[in-house]
Each structure stands twice: as C-alpha cells, then as structure tokens.
Amino acid sequence: MKNKKVWCIVDILNWSTNYLNEKDISDAKTSVEWMLIDVLKCSRMDLYLNFNKPLTDSELQQFKSYLLKCANNKPVQQIIGKVDFYGFAFTVDKNVLVPRPETEILVEEVIKKCKADSKAKLRILDIGSGSGAIAIALAKHLPNTNIDALEYSEEAVKILKKNINFHNLGDRISIINEDVYKYSPKEKYDIIVSNPPYISKDEFANLDKNVKYYEPTMALTDDNDGLSFYRYFAKIFHDWLKSDGWAALEIGNGQIKKLKEIFQKYTNVKFIKDYQKDNRVLVFNNMD
C-alpha cells in the first residue's frame, strides 16, 4: 500500500504556481501566497519560515477549492473575500470593484492637498464608493473630514456598510444610496473624489477574464466611450463644489486630450502619473 503524499507549504507553492502559470493566470505566485496565507491564517513571512510544514486534510481541501476558482480566472481577492488598500483591510465580493494600487495615487494626492488646507473641517463627496476603499482611506488619514459615500448599487452598499463599520467610521462617513445622475446635494463640498467607470465599450470587450467576468460591469464601463461620467461631472461640479473647492478623479489611458476639453472651464487642471508612468489622476479647481 502506497503512503499518502504529504503536501508541505513548499510543495504547494511550487506545484500550484506552475499549475496557474500553465493556465495563463497572471501573478500566479502572489495569488498562491495570498490563498495559502488565508487558509493557514498566517503571514507571508510565516510561509517562508515554515517551508516544510505539512497541511492538514481540511487545509488541503480548502486550498484546492481556492486554487480551482483561481484557475478559472476568479480574482484571488474575491476568493479570499478581502484585499489590502493603502494599508487597510477591506471586504470585497463580486458586487464591488477590487481596489487597485493605482487608485492609491488618487488617495495620496487628496491627502497631500488636504493637509495643506487650513480649514478646520472639510466636506468630501466620494462618487461611486463601492467597497469604500477611497472614502475610508481618506477618513483614516484626515480626521478633519466628513465624507458622503455615494453608491447606486444596493448590493455594493452592503459591502460598503460592512467596511465602514469594521473601521469604526460610521460617525464620519455617511452612505447615500442613490444614482449620481439623480443626486442633488443639500450642501456644497470642499472636495469631490471619484473613480468612475472610464473603460470604453470597445476596451471592455478586450479586458482580462478575471475582470470582465467577475467584477461589476457598471463599475468598469459606461457602455459608451468611457467619458460619460466626466462629461456629467464637468456639467454639475461647479454647482456641487464650494467656490474654492476642487476635485480629484481617476482616469484611463489615452483620455487626456478629451478630458482637457471636457474640463476646460475649470482651473488649475493637472494630471498625475501612476507607478507605470501612465496618467492616472486628474485634479482641478472649481471655476473662477
């Protein structure tokens, strides 16, 4: 009778990474690490300090379930149900966009500008809040802010509430479950931030499977040219912002020329690059 194979951490890491690479899954090794960390309830360092530790049968079964989902292009963040963003943990599922590292550029710019502002209190609007990653990261770093998190999807709002409660920010972040096209603020804002759906209909058709099939379409594309929300923002932000207010928006590649035209009536328009040196954030002040 053959002895049952003992699967140690190092065996799982090597075999699973090769398996996912054969399936053309991007960032295979990192995905395997994340899944193992979740199954074993340990840190990344623990994985490499305990290379020869065998997995129990129940741990193997859970990891196998994770691995098959990953091989089928499901985002690893959805598989384990969480993601780190700007140093904070967030619950995510199929109803919210998985926050990307590039969006941290938007958060960083807002924090930098706010810390240079002498106002005692700042009112911020986060449009399309989703998981609440942007709003929560800002609230954590900017104690002098009150934030309205505007989110249309009722399913996304459930995740948004969970994350706000987890971070104990219910007294400073207010959820507004409403369509941005129907929203009418009672008071003007000092700052408006948003990571709107900026992927065009044509670009959406060519997205990676793990994005196109598993993340909410309404958070990715406007089903048009990718500029619909920016056109609307340009039309209404003058009325939503205080006279000295400003906005910071995440943008897509190749949109600068058209965005300059769309926001030509606003002042101090500038573009900020991300880690790949692509223009990723648009910042501008209210009209004179």
pLDDT tens, 38-90? 999 999 999 999 999 999 999 999 999 999 999 999 999 999 999 999 999 99
- Band of pLDDT at residue 5, cut at 50, 70 and 90: confident
Checking if the pLDDT of 288 tops 70, the result is no
Mean pLDDT of 223-245: 97
pLDDT of residue 120: 75
> What is the third-level CATH fold of 87-285?
Rossmann fold (3.40.50)
Mean pLDDT of 250-272: 96
Q: Please write the tens of the pLDDT for every residue from 117-155.
A: 767 799 999 999 999 999 999 999 999 999 999 999 999
Q: Helix (H) and strand (E) counts for the chain?
A: 12, 9
- Amino acid identity of residue 52, one-letter, is N
pLDDT of residue 72: 96
pLDDT of residue 272: 96
pLDDT of residue 10: 96
Checking if the pLDDT of 1 tops 50, the result is no
Burial classification of residue 238, based on how many CB atoms lie within 10 Å of its CB (0-12 exposed, 13-18 middle, 19 or more buried): middle
pLDDT of residue 175: 98
- Amino acid identity of residue 278, one-letter, is D
Burial classification of residue 11, based on how many CB atoms lie within 10 Å of its CB (0-12 exposed, 13-18 middle, 19 or more buried): middle
Percent of the chain with pLDDT over 90: 93
- Band of pLDDT at residue 116, cut at 50, 70 and 90: confident
- For the chain, what is the mean pLDDT? 95
In sequence order, what are the beta bridge partners of 192? 125, 247
In the block, tokens 């990723």 appear at 280
Checking if the pLDDT of 174 tops 50, the result is yes
Mean pLDDT of 159-183: 98
Contact 45, 87 (CB under 8 A): no
Percent of the chain with pLDDT over 70: 98
Give the global pTM: 0.94
Checking if the pLDDT of 195 tops 60, the result is yes
The neighbour count for residue 156, using CB atoms within 10 Å, is: 23
* b (16+ CB within 10 A) / e for 96-127: bbbbeebbbbbbbbbbeebeeeeeeebbbbbb
